[in-house]
Amino acid sequence: MIKELLYKWFNLEPLPCQSCETLKLQLSIANHEKEQMLSTILSLTKPSIEQQTAQDIDYEKVKPKMITWNVRRQMLEAEDRKAAQLLADQKRRNEEAKKINEDIGKLEKEVGIEEGVKSDA
């Protein structure tokens, strides 16, 4: 009661409570996020792509390039050689992994480790 009288006599503003300050802060954050979303949506509706005029187009870049059959054949053969090399490397790696697994299996049989029990190490 005395506190209220002092605030009234000396024209002091009452101190806001902590929950009120938290709510104000959360409201300002929510409003800021809404403003950002609205500006993003509005920016998507604006036409940002400029139309190119006929004078700006470089026809040399657009024109199809003529490639002779010999050059095209060489390119295709090079791609096929690369693909065959990759397949051979993959096959070799698979064979090596299979051989390693077989060797491990032989060693496990010699040591007497059961097939069903595997360690995480």
Say if residue 83's pLDDT is above 80. Answer: yes
The residue ranking higher by pLDDT, 117 or 85, is: 85
Q: Residue 8: which residues within 8 A CB-CB, separation 6 or more?
A: none
Q: What is the dihedral of CA 87, 88, 90, 93, to 10 degrees?
A: 170
Provide the pLDDT for residue 95: 94
Q: How crowded is residue 113: how many other Cβ atoms within 10 Å of its Cβ? A: 14
Cα–Cα distances in angstroms (integers) from residue 5 to residues 2, 14, 15, in the given order? 5, 11, 14
Q: What's the angle, vertex CA 22, arms to CA 21 and CA 23, rounded to 5?
A: 90
pTM comes to 0.37
- For 1-26, what is each residue's pLDDT tens digit? 788 888 888 888 777 788 888 999 99
**Range from 38-47, 73-82, 100-109 carrying the lowest mean pLDDT:** 38-47
Give the separation between CA 1 and CA 9, rounded to whole angstroms: 12
- For 36-53, what is each residue's pLDDT tens digit? 999 999 888 877 666 656
